[in-house]
Amino acid sequence: MIERLFRFRHPLVQLEKHRLTRVARGFIPEELAPLYQRVVPDPETAIDQLEFLVVDFETSGLDPERDTILSIGMVEIRQQTLSLSSASHFYVAKPQQVKPDTAVINHITPETLAAGVSLEQSIHDLLERMPGKILVAHGAAIERDFLRRALAVDRSADLPVVWLDTLMLERSLATNRGKEGKDYRLCQIRQEKGLPGYLAHNALADSVATGELFLVLLKEIFAGLPPTLGPLYYRSLYGRA
């Protein structure tokens, strides 16, 4: 009985109930309809049965209300394998948004963005790849909040999208091991796990680096047991097992 009650309250089950409620009420924007047509996976769903889209946004700052997306990188994971052939990277054409310090950190110049695509087109391209996939990001709150802002979706009306956060997954492991307060930067975690260095603050490189880290975290978290979605989503939300 307790196990059934916990399952009923699992965040994935609640997200599916939210999706069904929104569908029943209607008034879903056309561009978001494909997301609402997909059932949120059950907590017991095996990882091998799912497809993942690892995303990274480079932005002009951390405030979605004032700052903007400069570039988007993404790559897919299928059958616990990173598919480099699926990788894509595009810049958002708003050269006036580039701050001097941002240009240095993100290796983005006004000239680079001038050859990019509009924010609307870049978000449209991202939305086309999202249905049926679990999204993965490092520090996923940034990507989630900037996407909400770009879609003009209120914080209280979460999209029926499952986000897995590699930062929170690592935090859950650190909490279990009594090592809270560590450095959770992507480059630092990768170094601790023996993963190679990469070009940081580049959306495509960051998405590939996050995908590699995610696959390592899967092995650490499940320690030889068949990985399922429920524990990963719970850890991603709360930073603990």
Q: What average pLDDT does range 208-231 have in this prediction?
A: 97
- On the CB side of 238, how many CA atoms lie within 13 Å of its CA? 11
DSSP state at residue 74? E
Helix H or strand E segment including 188: helix 186-192
pLDDT given for residue 112 in this prediction: 62
3-state secondary structure of 89: strand
* pLDDT tens-place string over residues 47-90: 999 999 999 999 888 999 998 898 899 999 999 999 999 999 98
Cα separation, 111 vs 85, whole angstroms: 27
Asked if pLDDT for residue 95 goes beyond 50, the answer is no
The mean pLDDT of 103-111, rounded to a whole number, is 55
Please give the sequence-ordered ranges of beta strands (E in DSSP) within the chain, or none if there are none: 51-59, 69-78, 81-91, 133-137, 163-165
Q: Is the dihedral of CA 198, 199, 200, 202 positive or negative?
A: negative
Q: Residue 16 — very low, low, confident or very high, per pLDDT cuts 50/70/90?
A: very high
Classified as helix, coil or strand, 212 is helix
Q: Which residue has the tokens 């391209």?
A: 125
For residue 183, give the 3-state DSSP assignment.
coil
Q: Does the pLDDT at position 172 exceed 60?
A: yes
Is pLDDT of 19 > 50? yes
Q: Find which of 4-8, 134-138, 150-154 is predicted with most confidence, using mean pLDDT.
A: 134-138
CATH architecture assigned to 2-238 = 2-Layer Sandwich (3.30)
Domain ranges across the chain: 2-238
Q: Give me the mean pLDDT over the 27-34 stretch.
A: 91
Top-confidence residue, 147 or 152: 147
Query: Cβ contacts of residue 202 below 8 Å, gap of 6+?
Result: 58, 71, 73, 106, 107
Give the pLDDT score at 238: 95
